[in-house]
Protein backbone atom coordinates (compact mmCIF):
# COMPACT_ATOMS: atom_id res chain seq x y z
CA UNK A 1 0.00 0.00 0.00
CA UNK A 2 2.69 2.47 1.02
CA UNK A 3 5.29 1.49 -1.58
CA UNK A 4 3.73 0.04 -4.72
CA UNK A 5 0.61 2.22 -4.86
CA UNK A 6 2.46 5.57 -5.06
CA UNK A 7 5.23 4.12 -7.24
CA UNK A 8 2.75 2.87 -9.84
CA UNK A 9 0.26 5.68 -9.36
CA UNK A 10 -2.43 3.04 -8.83
CA UNK A 11 -5.99 4.34 -8.44
CA UNK A 12 -7.67 0.96 -7.97
CA UNK A 13 -6.58 -2.14 -6.07
CA UNK A 14 -8.28 -5.29 -7.27
CA UNK A 15 -7.85 -8.05 -4.68
CA UNK A 16 -8.39 -11.41 -6.38
CA UNK A 17 -8.94 -13.82 -3.51
CA UNK A 18 -12.11 -15.83 -3.02
CA UNK A 19 -11.56 -16.06 0.76
CA UNK A 20 -11.23 -12.29 1.18
CA UNK A 21 -14.12 -11.61 -1.19
CA UNK A 22 -16.44 -13.65 1.05
CA UNK A 23 -15.18 -12.34 4.40
CA UNK A 24 -16.61 -8.91 5.38
CA UNK A 25 -14.08 -8.47 8.17
CA UNK A 26 -11.06 -9.09 5.95
CA UNK A 27 -12.54 -6.83 3.31
CA UNK A 28 -12.98 -4.03 5.85
CA UNK A 29 -9.39 -4.36 7.06
CA UNK A 30 -7.98 -4.36 3.54
CA UNK A 31 -10.10 -1.38 2.55
CA UNK A 32 -8.95 0.53 5.63
CA UNK A 33 -5.32 -0.33 4.94
CA UNK A 34 -5.48 1.58 1.66
CA UNK A 35 -5.74 4.75 3.78
CA UNK A 36 -7.71 6.43 1.01
CA UNK A 37 -4.80 6.24 -1.43
CA UNK A 38 -6.70 3.95 -3.80
CA UNK A 39 -10.11 2.36 -4.20
CA UNK A 40 -10.17 -1.30 -3.16
CA UNK A 41 -12.34 -3.83 -4.99
CA UNK A 42 -12.66 -7.58 -4.52
CA UNK A 43 -13.30 -10.53 -6.80
CA UNK A 44 -12.92 -14.28 -6.76
CA UNK A 45 -10.75 -15.88 -9.41
CA UNK A 46 -13.70 -16.66 -11.69
CA UNK A 47 -14.92 -13.05 -11.70
CA UNK A 48 -11.54 -11.29 -11.94
CA UNK A 49 -11.66 -10.72 -15.71
CA UNK A 50 -15.20 -9.31 -15.58
CA UNK A 51 -14.39 -7.06 -12.62
CA UNK A 52 -11.26 -5.73 -14.32
CA UNK A 53 -13.33 -4.96 -17.41
CA UNK A 54 -15.59 -2.69 -15.37
CA UNK A 55 -12.72 -0.42 -14.38
CA UNK A 56 -11.97 2.62 -16.52
CA UNK A 57 -9.00 2.06 -18.84
CA UNK A 58 -7.73 5.47 -17.72
CA UNK A 59 -7.17 4.18 -14.18
CA UNK A 60 -3.97 2.41 -13.19
CA UNK A 61 -5.01 -0.88 -11.57
CA UNK A 62 -2.87 -2.98 -9.23
CA UNK A 63 -4.16 -6.57 -9.18
CA UNK A 64 -3.23 -8.47 -6.01
CA UNK A 65 -3.37 -12.25 -5.58
CA UNK A 66 -3.03 -14.36 -2.45
CA UNK A 67 -1.12 -17.16 -4.17
CA UNK A 68 0.42 -18.34 -7.44
CA UNK A 69 -2.35 -20.90 -7.68
CA UNK A 70 -4.85 -18.03 -7.55
CA UNK A 71 -3.11 -16.36 -10.48
CA UNK A 72 -3.26 -19.54 -12.54
CA UNK A 73 -6.91 -20.12 -11.70
CA UNK A 74 -7.87 -16.56 -12.68
CA UNK A 75 -6.01 -16.98 -15.98
CA UNK A 76 -7.90 -20.21 -16.62
CA UNK A 77 -11.08 -18.14 -16.35
CA UNK A 78 -9.79 -15.78 -19.02
CA UNK A 79 -7.82 -13.11 -17.15
CA UNK A 80 -4.86 -11.94 -19.24
CA UNK A 81 -1.74 -10.71 -17.48
CA UNK A 82 1.45 -9.54 -19.17
CA UNK A 83 3.54 -9.28 -16.04
CA UNK A 84 3.43 -10.86 -12.59
CA UNK A 85 5.55 -9.61 -9.68
CA UNK A 86 6.01 -12.03 -6.81
CA UNK A 87 6.22 -9.97 -3.63
CA UNK A 88 5.74 -12.52 -0.86
CA UNK A 89 5.74 -16.30 -0.53
CA UNK A 90 6.18 -17.59 3.03
CA UNK A 91 8.77 -20.10 4.14
CA UNK A 92 7.61 -23.71 4.19
CA UNK A 93 9.00 -27.21 4.00
CA UNK A 94 10.70 -27.80 0.66
CA UNK A 95 10.97 -24.12 -0.18
CA UNK A 96 14.22 -22.16 -0.43
CA UNK A 97 14.72 -18.43 -0.10
CA UNK A 98 15.25 -16.29 -3.17
CA UNK A 99 14.70 -13.25 -0.97
CA UNK A 100 13.92 -13.03 2.76
CA UNK A 101 10.28 -12.43 1.79
CA UNK A 102 10.05 -14.92 -1.09
CA UNK A 103 10.49 -18.69 -0.77
CA UNK A 104 10.04 -20.97 -3.77
CA UNK A 105 9.41 -24.71 -3.91
CA UNK A 106 8.95 -27.31 -6.66
CA UNK A 107 5.18 -26.78 -6.90
CA UNK A 108 5.69 -23.02 -7.22
CA UNK A 109 8.19 -23.53 -10.03
CA UNK A 110 5.72 -25.70 -11.90
CA UNK A 111 3.05 -22.98 -11.69
CA UNK A 112 5.59 -20.40 -12.83
CA UNK A 113 6.53 -22.67 -15.74
CA UNK A 114 2.92 -22.97 -16.88
CA UNK A 115 2.26 -19.25 -16.55
CA UNK A 116 5.50 -18.38 -18.35
CA UNK A 117 4.44 -20.63 -21.23
CA UNK A 118 1.53 -18.23 -21.84
CA UNK A 119 4.00 -15.41 -22.46
CA UNK A 120 3.66 -13.86 -19.01
CA UNK A 121 6.77 -12.16 -17.64
CA UNK A 122 7.33 -13.23 -14.02
CA UNK A 123 9.79 -11.56 -11.65
CA UNK A 124 10.54 -11.45 -7.93
CA UNK A 125 10.48 -7.99 -6.36
CA UNK A 126 8.90 -7.51 -2.90
CA UNK A 127 9.31 -3.72 -2.90
CA UNK A 128 9.95 -1.17 -5.68
CA UNK A 129 13.37 -0.46 -4.14
CA UNK A 130 14.39 -4.14 -4.31
CA UNK A 131 16.46 -5.58 -7.15
CA UNK A 132 14.35 -7.32 -9.79
CA UNK A 133 15.08 -11.06 -9.89
CA UNK A 134 13.84 -13.47 -12.57
CA UNK A 135 11.48 -16.07 -11.17
CA UNK A 136 13.00 -19.58 -11.41
CA UNK A 137 11.19 -21.98 -13.70
CA UNK A 138 10.86 -25.73 -13.34
CA UNK A 139 13.83 -26.29 -15.63
CA UNK A 140 16.05 -23.92 -13.65
CA UNK A 141 17.99 -24.98 -10.61
CA UNK A 142 17.28 -23.17 -7.38
CA UNK A 143 20.02 -21.97 -5.06
CA UNK A 144 20.66 -24.36 -2.20
CA UNK A 145 18.97 -23.57 1.08
CA UNK A 146 22.32 -22.47 2.47
CA UNK A 147 22.69 -19.68 -0.10
CA UNK A 148 21.27 -17.28 2.46
CA UNK A 149 22.70 -17.60 5.94
CA UNK A 150 20.34 -15.35 7.83
CA UNK A 151 20.81 -14.21 11.38
CA UNK A 152 18.04 -14.67 13.89
CA UNK A 153 16.82 -12.50 16.71
CA UNK A 154 14.03 -13.64 19.00
CA UNK A 155 12.77 -11.47 21.84
CA UNK A 156 9.65 -10.21 23.59
CA UNK A 157 8.41 -6.65 23.10
CA UNK A 158 5.62 -4.95 24.99
CA UNK A 159 2.87 -2.82 23.48
CA UNK A 160 2.99 0.38 25.55
CA UNK A 161 0.66 2.85 23.81
CA UNK A 162 -2.85 3.38 25.17
CA UNK A 163 -4.70 2.18 22.07
CA UNK A 164 -2.52 -0.88 21.52
CA UNK A 165 -2.04 -2.26 18.02
CA UNK A 166 -5.00 -0.42 16.52
CA UNK A 167 -5.13 0.16 12.78
CA UNK A 168 -2.75 3.13 12.60
CA UNK A 169 -0.16 1.48 14.86
CA UNK A 170 -0.48 -1.83 13.00
CA UNK A 171 -0.01 0.04 9.72
CA UNK A 172 3.21 1.61 11.04
CA UNK A 173 4.55 -1.78 12.10
CA UNK A 174 3.64 -3.44 8.79
CA UNK A 175 5.18 -0.55 6.86
CA UNK A 176 8.43 -0.75 8.84
CA UNK A 177 8.62 -4.55 8.60
CA UNK A 178 7.83 -4.43 4.88
CA UNK A 179 10.94 -2.34 4.29
CA UNK A 180 13.27 -4.67 6.19
CA UNK A 181 15.47 -7.20 4.36
CA UNK A 182 14.31 -10.05 6.62
CA UNK A 183 11.36 -12.12 7.67
CA UNK A 184 9.42 -10.71 10.63
CA UNK A 185 6.94 -12.78 12.62
CA UNK A 186 5.09 -11.58 15.68
CA UNK A 187 2.51 -12.87 18.11
CA UNK A 188 2.36 -15.48 20.86
CA UNK A 189 3.23 -19.21 20.92
CA UNK A 190 0.92 -21.01 18.53
CA UNK A 191 -0.37 -17.75 17.07
CA UNK A 192 2.43 -16.09 15.14
CA UNK A 193 1.65 -13.87 12.13
CA UNK A 194 3.62 -12.24 9.35
CA UNK A 195 4.85 -8.88 10.67
CA UNK A 196 4.64 -7.46 7.15
CA UNK A 197 0.94 -8.20 6.92
CA UNK A 198 -1.41 -5.50 8.18
CA UNK A 199 -4.23 -8.02 8.19
CA UNK A 200 -2.19 -10.46 10.26
CA UNK A 201 -1.13 -7.85 12.80
CA UNK A 202 -4.65 -6.60 13.36
CA UNK A 203 -5.85 -10.13 14.13
CA UNK A 204 -3.55 -10.19 17.19
CA UNK A 205 -5.83 -7.79 19.06
CA UNK A 206 -2.85 -6.62 21.14
CA UNK A 207 -3.87 -4.08 23.77
CA UNK A 208 -1.71 -1.85 25.96
CA UNK A 209 0.55 -4.02 28.09
CA UNK A 210 0.47 -7.06 25.80
CA UNK A 211 3.82 -8.83 25.59
CA UNK A 212 4.46 -10.12 22.09
CA UNK A 213 7.11 -12.46 20.76
CA UNK A 214 9.06 -11.04 17.84
CA UNK A 215 11.23 -13.22 15.60
CA UNK A 216 13.38 -11.68 12.90
CA UNK A 217 15.35 -13.84 10.50
CA UNK A 218 17.52 -12.81 7.60
CA UNK A 219 20.45 -10.59 6.66
CA UNK A 220 20.79 -7.66 9.04
CA UNK A 221 18.54 -9.27 11.65
CA UNK A 222 20.15 -7.38 14.54
CA UNK A 223 19.72 -3.94 12.98
CA UNK A 224 16.22 -4.83 11.85
CA UNK A 225 15.23 -5.89 15.36
CA UNK A 226 16.56 -2.64 16.79
CA UNK A 227 14.34 -0.69 14.39
CA UNK A 228 11.28 -2.72 15.43
CA UNK A 229 12.20 -2.37 19.09
CA UNK A 230 12.45 1.42 18.77
CA UNK A 231 8.99 1.54 17.19
CA UNK A 232 7.52 -0.47 20.07
CA UNK A 233 9.30 1.69 22.67
CA UNK A 234 7.92 4.85 21.06
CA UNK A 235 4.40 3.51 21.41
CA UNK A 236 4.20 3.65 17.61
CA UNK A 237 4.69 7.40 17.87
CA UNK A 238 1.97 7.74 20.50
CA UNK A 239 4.08 7.56 23.66
CA UNK A 240 3.94 5.09 26.53
CA UNK A 241 0.93 4.56 28.80
CA UNK A 242 2.18 1.30 30.30
CA UNK A 243 2.27 1.55 34.10
CA UNK A 244 4.06 -1.74 34.70
CA UNK A 245 3.03 -5.14 36.02
CA UNK A 246 2.33 -8.42 34.23
CA UNK A 247 0.12 -8.84 31.19
Q: Are residues 123 and 223 in the same domain?
A: no
d(CA 33, CA 19): 17
Domain C-terminal end among 102, 134, 166: 134
The predicted pLDDT at position 30 comes to 82
Write down the pLDDT at residue 47. 94
pLDDT of the residue at 150: 54
4: nearest Cα among 78, 81, 83, 61: 61
* Confidence class for position 141, pLDDT limits 50, 70, 90: low
Per annotation, catalytic residue among 99, 140, 166, 171: 166
Average pLDDT of every residue of the chain: 86
- Please, which pLDDT band fits residue 140 given cuts at 50, 70 and 90? low
Q: Determine the number of helices (DSSP H) and then strands (DSSP E) in the chain.
A: 9, 12
Is residue 99 annotated as part of the catalytic site, yes or no?
A: no
Confidence grade of residue 151 (pLDDT, cut at 50, 70, 90): confident
- Residue 45 belongs to a domain: yes
Q: Which comes out higher in pLDDT, residue 24 or 245?
A: 24
pLDDT confidence bin for 146, thresholds 50/70/90: very low
Question: Is there a single domain that holds both residue 59 and residue 22?
Answer: yes
Asked whether the predicted pLDDT for residue 145 surpasses 50, the reply is: no
What pLDDT digit, counting tens, does each position of 56-66 carry? 989 999 999 98
142 in any annotated domain = no
Please identify, among 88, 105, 134, the residue that sits at the C-terminal boundary of a domain: 134
The boundaries of the domain holding residue 196 are 151-233
Q: Work out the pLDDT band at 78, boundaries 50, 70, 90.
A: very high
Same domain, 127 and 175: no
**Lowest mean pLDDT, pick from 29-43, 104-118, 145-159:** 145-159
Q: What would the 3-class secondary structure string for 181-231 be? A: CCEEEEEECCEEEECCCHHHHHCCCCCCCCEEEEEEEECCHHHHHHHHHHH
- What Å distances lie between residue 102 and 136, 152, 243, CA to CA? 12, 17, 40
Domain count, the chain: 2
Residues 46 and 127 reside in one and the same domain:
yes
Q: How confident is the model at residue 149 (pLDDT cuts 50, 70, 90)?
A: very low
Residue 28 scores a pLDDT above 70: yes
Instruction: Indicate whether 123 and 37 sit together in one domain.
Output: yes
| CATH at 53 | 3.40.35.10
Domain final residue pick, 101, 134, 167:
134
Give domain status of residue 143, yes or no: no
- 158 and 203 assigned to the same domain: yes
Task: Give a yes or no: residue 97 inside a domain.
Answer: yes
Residues 130 and 155 in one domain: no
Amino acid sequence: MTSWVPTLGAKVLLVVDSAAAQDPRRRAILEASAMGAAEVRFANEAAAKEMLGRISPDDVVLVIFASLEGVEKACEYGLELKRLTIGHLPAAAGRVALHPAVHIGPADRQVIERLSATGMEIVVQPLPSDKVLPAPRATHSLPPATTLTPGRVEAKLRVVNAKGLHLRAAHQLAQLAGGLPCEVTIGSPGSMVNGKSLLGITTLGATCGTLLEVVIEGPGADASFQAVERLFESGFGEGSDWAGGDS
